Homo-oligomer: A and B are copies of this chain.
Amino acid sequence: MYNETMYGLGSHRSVIRDLFEFGKKRAAEVGADKVYDFSLGNPNVPAPDGVKAAAEKLLAMPDNTALHGYTSAQGDANVRKAVADNINARFSAGVTPDLIYMTCGAAASLTVTLNALCEDGDEFILLAPYFPEYAVFVKAAGGTPVVVPFDEKTFAPDLTALKNAVTPHTKGIIVNSPNNPSGTVYTRETIERIAAILREKSAENGTHIVLIADEPYRELVYDDIEVPYLMNLYPDTAVCYSWSKSLSLPGERIGYIALSPRMYEVNGVYAAVCGAGRAQGYVCAPAMFQYIAAACVNEKPDIEAYRRNRDLIYSSLTEMGYDCVRPDGAFYLFVRSLEPDAGAFSDRAKNYGLLIVPGDSFGAPGYVRISYCVSHDMIARSLPAFRALIDSYKK
């Protein structure tokens, strides 16, 4: 009656969703103030004022048929120009509007890119720790995910393992920096080493491996850390962007794909992107939020709120004895589990009202992810629970 794979994807809840449901039940039992939900990556910082101002200005237009009408499939021409101009002003990347394809958010950017590229037998490399949906998207496009482990000291990819993972079937690699779940920002040196390996292996195998840069967290970095613009370091790059986190618009589903003008056969790849969007039923990205994103393309998120959260949770947990890498970006803290099984650790944390996600589905068993895109107050209130949790392992 139905497709078994799709049934599986729809009926097995993700660990994150399970925790979220548990939290709601637990809050009803013990009170919402005693549940500390660090499970979701839903920004708690409101959208900047510019979003509301842009929306109101658009709604005030005398005729709304253009506002709410179809845009061209690849996105409104002026919107694509605003995006290209913004990229070029910041990164001198030489992108043109006809290499921009507006999407319904980061997940759509990824699925459209993967469907545009993937042919039978293709492999896509995922660098652990990675966002679990990457594996879902690669398989749905007909590809095979190949996971490369990470260096547990730096959280950078294990480059020897990367070298060994590339085969003549490698079609692409997904790079996510700032990283979900670790909060790590890959250094320029790391990116350059990855690029060198891709170049060398592409030459060896006569292929063109596409670097898919998943960048929803690009604007969320602290302490003036550099986030290198990947298409400037490697020609065959597709940037998958979303305003979900940078403008706090995750529910509105708005983002883009930007192809490097230096990509091999770039016009063919762009046509395949248009074809994949069409085949998946993405007629155009939501029109009004295309215009809003273009109007707000230079707005900045309220980094300060996230930085204060990062500083509080990182310093407090480290002081208590937790082992965690200091996040330079995004709004996640990746903490070593206090027992080998991170699932069991997450379960024990529940007893203290702490909802934290085991790293297994991120390709990083032995760790948990803490999303600190929550109120500063909740973090402060949760600290005794984190202390009680670590103390429980000392008994």
Contact = CB atoms under 8 A, between A and B. Distances in A.
Given A3-B272, A281-B108, A288-B252, A69 B42 contact: yes
Nearest to A63: B46
A65 interface: yes
Contact of A140 (B10, B11, B55, B279): B279
Contacts of A116: 2-3, 6, 10
Contacts of A208: 1
B105 A264 contact: no
Given A69-B42, A251-B70, A279 B1 contact: no
Interface residues of A, number: 80
Given A6-B279, A70-B42, A284-B251, A52 B64 contact: yes
A133 B147 CA distance: 36
Interface string A250-288: 111100000000001100111111111111111111111
**Oligomer copy total:** 2
Given A69-B250, A251-B69, A271 B7 contact: yes
A107 interface: yes
Contacts of A47: 64-65, 68
B118 A11 contact: no
A44 interface: yes
Contacts of A280: 111, 140, 280-281
Interface in A54-70: 55-56, 59, 63-65, 67-70
Interface of A: 1-11, 40, 42-47, 51-52, 55-56, 59, 63-65, 67-71, 104-105, 107-112, 115-119, 133, 136-137, 139-140, 208, 248-253, 264-265, 268-289
20 contacts: A1-B117, A2-B268, A3-B117, A3-B276, A9-B276, A10-B271, A10-B278, A11-B274, A40-B70, A46-B63, A46-B64, A46-B65, A56-B56, A108-B281, A111-B279, A139-B279, A140-B279, A251-B286, A253-B283, A253-B287
